[in-house]
Structure 1
Amino acid sequence: MNLELINKRRNNEICSDGVNTFKIFNKDYDKRLVFLESFITAEVEADGVNVPSIEEVTKIDGQWAFKSYVIKGKTLFDLIKENPKDVDKYLDKMVEIHTSIHKHKCPKLPIQKEKLTDYINASELDEGMKIDLLDMLNTCPKHRKLVHGNFTPHNVVITDNGYYITDWNHATQGSASADVARTYIWMLMNMPDYADVYLKKFCDSTNTASKYVRNWIPIVAAARLGKRVSEEEGVLKSLISVVEY
C-alpha cells in the first residue's frame, strides 16, 4: 500500500492513499484506547456531530489504524497561518463550532470529572497540591454536556460544504467551561497571541463569566501533567500555581 504522510503526531500518523485517510497508531499504543476512540467517535457521529466516519478498524504493518474517506479541506490552524488578517473570522468560526458540540449529549461516554481525577492522581505533583486540586474539582458543578477534550484549530477541517471535527479520543460528558479551559491552555502553548482572545469570544458568545472558565484552568493543567509530556511541564506548572482562581 502506497501511503503519503499527511501529519505526524505524538501517538499516531495521518496518511492517505488518495481515496482513504488512515490514522495509524504507534506500535506500542494501547489496543484498548484504539477501540475506545472508535466507540466514542461512533457515538458522537450517531448523535449528529460532523466527524470523519470510521469505516474500518484495521492493522497496517502490525499497527492499529482507522480507515476513513478522505475529507478535502483545510484545518482552521492552516487557514489562520495562511490568512492571519482573517484570524478574527476564523476564531469566531471556531467558537461557533465549539459551542455546537456542547449542545449534544452522549450518555455512554466517560465522565469528565472521573477522567480529570485519574490524570491528576497520575501526575507528579505533591500530595498536598493534588488534594487541593481534587477538592476544587469536586466543588465544581456537575454537567453532562458532550465535550471534545482536545478542541484545537488542528482538529477542525473546513470544507466547501461545511466542517468536520476530528480526534475524539479525549471526549467525555462534562463541563463546557472545562473544555474551553483545555483549549485555552493549548492555545497558550501553541498560539499565545490568540489564547485570551479566544477565551473572551467564547465567554461573550455563551454569556459565561470568564472567571468560571478560569476556575478550571489549574485543574485541567494538573490533569494534563498526568500525560507526562515534558515540553509542556513549564507552562502547566505555572498555571497550577495560580490556585487562588
Structure 2
Amino acid sequence: MELQLMNERRHNKIYNDESYTYKIFNIDYDKKDVFQEAFITSKVEELDAHAPLIDSVYKKDRQWCIKFDLIKGESLFSLINNNPENIKEYINKLVTIQTSIHTNFCTAIPRQKAKLQYGIKNSGLDESTQFDLLEMLDSSPKHKKLCHGNLTPHNIIISGDDYCVLDWNHASQGNASADIARTYIWFKINMPEYAELYLDSFCNMTGTTKRYVNQWLPIVATARIYKDNPEEFDILKSMIKVNEY
C-alpha cells in the first residue's frame, strides 16, 4: 500500500496510508529514544490526553518506525498559517488542550525536574550561572502534573471537534508553568508575533500570573540550550540574561 508523506521533521518523517500513520525515524536515530517515546506514549494512551494509539514498533530498511492507528486532520500550525484572522481562536484552543493535559498524572514517566537539571548541567554555561539556576529550580514548587514538554502547534492535529496530540517523547511529570514556558519559548523563536497572545491566554484562562511563568524562562531556556540548535541560541541566551536569579 502506497504511503503518503504528511510531515517532515529533523529526525523523522510522518506518513499515512488508508489505515495507519507511520513515524519513520532517520537511520542514525537512537534505538533507545524510539522505545522511550513508544513507552511514554503507551502510558499516556491510558489517560485523557488524546495521544495517538500505537499499533507496533518495528525496524525496516535500517530505520525504526512507530506505527499508529490512523491520525486524520490538519495541524494547528497549518490552520494558523492559512487562517491568521482566527489566531485568537486557535491560541485559545491550544491553551485549552494544554491545560487539559495538565489535569492528568502519570507516575511512570520521567520527572521534569531531573530533565531540567540534566539540561542545565550540560548547557555549557558557566558554573556560577548553572549553580544559580539549579538553586532556583530546586526551590520551585514540586508538582507532578502531566506535561507534554514540546506542545507546539505542529503537534496538535485537529479533525472537526476532535484532536490528537503527537510527539510525547519529551513528556514528564512536573510543573505546568514550566511546560507553558517551553511553548512560549517556541513561539518566541518561531512565531514571535503570537508569543504574548499565547501567554496572555494561558494566564487569563488559569489565573496564573505572568511573573510566575517568567520565573521558569531562564531555567527552561538554559535546559533548551543543551539541545544545541544554533539558530535558537541568541534568543535563549537573552531569556537567561533578562531574568533575575
Residue 17 of structure 1, CA deviation = 2.7
Structure 2 length as normaliser, TM-score?
0.97
- 1:33 deviation in Å? 1.1
Residues 188, 195 of structure 1: 8 Å contact kept:
yes
Letter aligned with residue 33 of structure 1: D
User: Cα offset for 1:129?
Assistant: 1.0
1:117 paired residue number? 117
CA–CA separation in structure 2 for the residues paired with 1:3 and 1:60: 14
In 2, Cα distance between the equivalents of 1:161 and 1:39? 28
Query: 3-state DSSP class of the match of 2:197?
Result: helix
In structure 1, the residue matched to 2:127 is 127
**Residue 180 (structure 2) aligns with:** 180
Alpha-carbon contact 2:48-2:101 (below 8 Å) kept? no
Alpha-carbon offset, residue 232 of structure 1: 0.9
Please state how far the C-alpha of 1:236 moved relative to its aligned partner. 0.7
Alpha-carbon displacement from aligned partner over 1:23-47 (angstroms, at most 9, x marks no partner): 1111121111111111110111112
Quote the offset at 1:184 in angstroms: 0.2
Counterpart-to-counterpart distance in 1, 2:239 and 2:13: 30
Does residue 1:225 correspond to 2:219, yes or no? Answer: no
In structure 2, what is the Cα distance between the partners aligned to 1:153 and 1:83?
Answer: 13
Task: Name the counterpart of 2:3.
Answer: 3
Does the 8 Å contact 1:157/1:163 carry over to 2?
yes
Looking at structure 2, the residues matched to 78 and 225 of structure 1 have their Cα atoms a distance apart, in angstroms, of 27
CA RMSD of aligned residues (A): 1.2
Q: Which residue of 1 aligns with 2:163?
A: 163
Distance 1:86 1:2 in 2: 35
The superposition leaves residues 151-176 of structure 1 with CA deviations (integer Å, 9 ceiling, x where unpaired) of 11111111124111110000000000
User: Percent of counterpart pairs with the same letter?
Assistant: 52
Contact 1:24 1:60 in 2 (8 A): no
**Structure 1 residue 75 displacement after superposition:** 0.9
Q: 2-side partners of 1:7 and 1:48: how far apart?
A: 25
Q: In structure 1, what is the Cα distance between the partners aligned to 2:122 and 2:28?
A: 20
Q: What does residue 64 of structure 1 align with?
A: 64
- Structure 2, unmatched stretches of 5+, are none
Q: Who is 1:25 aligned against?
A: 25
AA aligned opposite 2:209: A
Tell me the SS of whatever aligns to 2:154: helix
Structure 1 partner of 2:189: 189
Task: Give the aligned residue type for 2:190.
Answer: N
TM-score scaled by length of structure 1: 0.97
